[in-house]
């Protein structure tokens, strides 16, 4: 949640992880990122709905403002296939 808080607060521009995360580790950070007007995109293409039967985000995610995410994706083309 700390890294997502840094995105929400404008301290960092983008956060990308390909590692699985448990929803309880990220749900507060996701709320802060979205409330700050930034984006949170799961690579598994599932909606950001928490407290579901499957508590894992297996394929990772990307968070940041839309322009930074677009720039990142243009540089690292493998990410575009995930979105």
pLDDT in tens, 23-48: 999 999 999 999 999 999 998 888 88
For the whole model, what pTM was predicted? 0.86
Residue 82 has pLDDT above 70, yes or no: no
Contact call for residues 39 and 69 (beta carbons, < 8 A): yes
Taking phi over 0 as left and psi of -120 to 50 as alpha, with beta for the rest, 72 belongs to alpha
Nearest-angstrom CA–CA distance, 78 and 47: 21
pLDDT in tens, 55-80: 888 889 999 999 999 888 888 876 66
């Amino acid at each position: 949640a700390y890294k997502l808080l840094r995105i929400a607060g404008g301290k960092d521009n983008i956060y990308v992880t390909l590692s699985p995360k448990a929803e309880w580790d990220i749900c507060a950070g996701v709320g802060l990122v979205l409330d700050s007007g930034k984006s949170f995109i799961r690579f598994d293409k599932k909606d950001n709905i928490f407290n579901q039967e499957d508590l894992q985000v297996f394929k990772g995610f990307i968070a940041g403002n839309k322009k930074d995410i677009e720039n990142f994706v243009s540089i690292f083309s493998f990410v575009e296939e995930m979105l």
